[in-house]
Structure 1
Amino acid sequence: MFENVGHVLYHVLIILFPILFYYQFLNKGALVLTKKINYRFLFIMLVMVICTMSFPIEVTEGSNYDQKLIPVILSFLYGGLVTGAIVVVSMLYYLYIIGDSNIMVMVINYFILSAILLIFRNRYSSLSLNKKVSIVSFLFLLITSTRAIRLFYLNEEKEIFLNVLVSIITWISLVTAIMIIENLNMQMQLQHELQRSEKLKVVSELAASVAHEVRNPMTSTRGFLQLMSQDDNLNGSQKRYIDISIEELDRAQSIIQDYLSLAKPNKLGMDRINVSKELEQVVQLMSTYTTLNNTSIRHEIEDELYIKANKDEMKQVLINLIKNGIEAIDKDGTVTVKASSRRGMVLIEVMDDGVGMTPQQVERLGTPFYSTKDKGTGIGLTISFQIIELLQGKIEVTSEVGKGSIFTIKLPMETSENS
C-alpha cells in the first residue's frame, strides 16, 4: 500500500480536478439542487467515476482500490435523483463490462446507499457546511464499518487495516470535495450579491439625482391638464385624451416614487409588529383583486408571529408579492399564503399555480429594470428584496414553468424578551 502513495494521490487528483474544471469552465452559477438535470455536472461525475475505476490501485493480491464511491455520493447530494441514478447505473454497467466478480454484491450495496442518500438529499441543501460534513462522514463511517465487519467474518483480518487506511484517504477526498463545492458556491453567491448591490447603488444614485427634478414639472403639467379638463368647450374625445394623459402621468409619478423609496430606504419606524395580523389584513384586502382577476386566495397563518419591522413597508412587501402571484395566474388559479415559525425564524410563503418562471428568470428577480410582466419595471420587487434584507432576512424563490412559483420570506422572530 505504501509503495503506491503516488497512485493514491493520483486518485485524489481524479476526484478534485474535475470539480475545479467544472467550476472554472462549465458552471454558470452556484451548484443548486433542482429537479432538472445539470448535464454539465452529470458529465463531470461520469468522467470522475470512469477514471477512478479505469485505473485502480492493487492494495493486495486480488484486492483493488478506487474512489468510485465519491462521485456516487456527490451525484445524489448535488445533482439529484436522476443524476445519481445515471451515475450508479453507469458505474455498475462498467463493472459488468470489465468482469467484476462481485457485481451482484455491488448492486445490492449501491442500491441501499442510493436509498439512504435519497432520504438525506431533501434536507441536505438547507444545512450548514459543518452539518453537511458531519452527515456525510457518519454515512461514510457506516459504510466503512460494514466493510470491516464483512472482512472479519471472511477471516481476512489482515485486510481490515488496509481497508480502514483506504477508507480514511477516501473520506478525506470526499470531505475536501464537499468543502470545495460549498466554498465555490458561496463565492458565486457572494459575487452575485455584490453585482446586485452595485446595480442597486447605481439605480439609487440615479434616482436621488433625477427623481425630484422630473417630478416637479410633471406635477405642474398634471395640474394644467386638470384645469383644461374642466373647460366646457372641450368635446368628449378631447376630455378622454386628457384623462388618459393624467392617468399616464400618475403612473409615471408612481414609478418615480418607487425610485425614491429605492434611493432612501427607511430605517426608522422599526417596531415589534404582529405579522400574522398584518398578513391577514393584506389577504383580506387582496381578496377583492383576486375576484377581478378570476382567481382565489386562501391562507394558513399561524397566530402571534412577531417580527421587528416598519409596518407600512412590511405591508408593501406582502401586497407586492401577493399581487404578483395573482397576476401570474391566467385564470381559475389559486394563490396560497402561509405563515409559520421555525427555529427562531418567521416563514411567509406566497404560492401560486400560475405560468411559473425559468431558472434564468428566477436568477434575475430583484434586479432593477427586470420584470416578467409586460408593463412591469421590476422596481417593486427590487424594493421588496431591499426591505427584507434591511430586516436581516431574505427572500427565496422556487419556480417551475407551467406549475407556478413559491416566494418564501425568512425573517428573524422577535420575542417579548428582545422587544
Structure 2
Amino acid sequence: MSIIKDFLLQLTFMVVPIFIYYTFITERVKTDKNRNLIMTILWGISILFCMSFPVSYGQNARLELRIIPLLFGTLYGGFWPGIFLSALIIIIRLCSGFSIGFYNTVLVLIFSLPVILYFQKSFANSKKDKRVKVAVSLAFYYCMFGLLFFGILRDFSAEYIKVQLIHLIFAVVVTWVFTLLIENIREIHQLRLEMQNSEKLRVISELTSVFAHEIRNPMQVTRGFLQLLNEPVSPDKKNEYIQLSIEELDRANEIINDFLSFGKPSINHFEKIEVGFQLQRVANIIQGYAKNHKVDVKTDVRDNCWIYANPQKLNQSLINILKNAIESMPDGGSVWITCTSTKDGYIKIIIKDQGIGMTKEQIDRLGSPFYSLKESGTGLGMMVSFQIVRLFKGKIYVNSEKDKGTEFIILLPEMT
C-alpha cells in the first residue's frame, strides 16, 4: 500500500506543474519568454520532489520519474531549460555524495541530453501523434542507457535487471500518458483561442453592420427632406425641412460618437421627457421618407405623458420601428401613431401599419440579430429598438397577421 501511495505521489509531482501552467500561467503571462521561464521553474520543482521522495521497493530498489520533467522541460522549453534541468538533477544527486548512482546519473545525461536536444526542434514542429511517439521513444532511450550504465558499474544480476525493467516500463507508460494529457490540453487551449478570435471577428462584424444601419437612417431621412426642397414649398416648410435635416445630421454625429466611445463604460443620460412631443417630432422626421414610399403618417397623441429616458435613444428606437412599418407597405398605405397613459402606470405607444404582416414564428424571432424580412436587411435596427425599450425598463409587444398589418405596443414606465 505504501508503494502505491509513493507512486501516486510521484504522479502528483507531474500533474501539479501542468495544472498550474495551463490554468494560471498561459492566460496571465503574455510573453513566451516569461512563460518558458515559469514552466522551467515548475519542472525544476517537480524534479526536486521526485528525487526527494522516490518509490522504494525491494532491496535497494528506488523508482523516481525525474526523466519526465527533464524530458518535457527540454522538449517544450528548448535548449536552456534542458541544460538547467540537467544541472539541477546533477546538483541534487551530488547532495547524496559521490556514489555509483551519481556517476550513473552523469553518464546517462551526457549520452541522453544531446539526443533529446537534437529532436527538440522536430518535436516542436510536429503534430500531436508524432510528438507522443518522439517523447515515448526518448524516455525509452534514456532509461535504456540508465539500465546499461548501471549494469556496467554494478554486476548484471537477475534482481538488478528486474528492477530496471520495472523502472523502464513505468517511465515509458507515464511519459506516454502525460504527453497525451499535455497535447490534449494544448489542443483544447488552442481551440479556445480560435473561438475567442472568431467571436471577436463576429462582434466586429455585428458592430460594423449596426453602425452602417444606424447611420443610414438619418442619412435617408435627410435625403428625403432635401428632395422635398426641390419642390415648390412655402418658406416656413422650407425652414422646417432644413432644421429637421440639421437635427438628423446631428443625430448621425451622436451615433458616431456613441460607437467611438463603445469601449468605454456606457453612461446613459436620462431626463424627464414628454412622449407626445417626441412622437410628434419623430413623425415630422420620418414624414419625408414616408412620402417617398406613398405612406401617410397619422398621429393621435395625448399631452402630459411624461417618462424618464434618453430622448435621442427613444427617437432612435421609434424611427427604426416606423421605418420598418413604412417599408412593409410596398404599395403605400397609412401608419398610425398613438400615445395614451394606462391605469397601471405606463405610457402606451402604439405604432400600427397596413403592411404585409408577420406569422407567429416571424414575430418570435423579431429582435434577433441578423433576422430580417427584408432582402437587404440586417435585423439589427429592430434589435437595437428592443434593447432601448428594455433599457428604459419598458416592455414591447407585437401583434400581427399575415397580409393585414402589424401593431407594435410599447409600454414605458410613467413618471409619478
- Give the TM interval when normalised to the shorter protein: 0.3 to 0.5
Structure 2 length as normaliser, TM-score?
0.47
Structure 1 length as normaliser, TM-score?
0.47
Which structure ranks higher in relative contact order (CA pairs < 8 Å, sequence separation ≥ 6)?
1
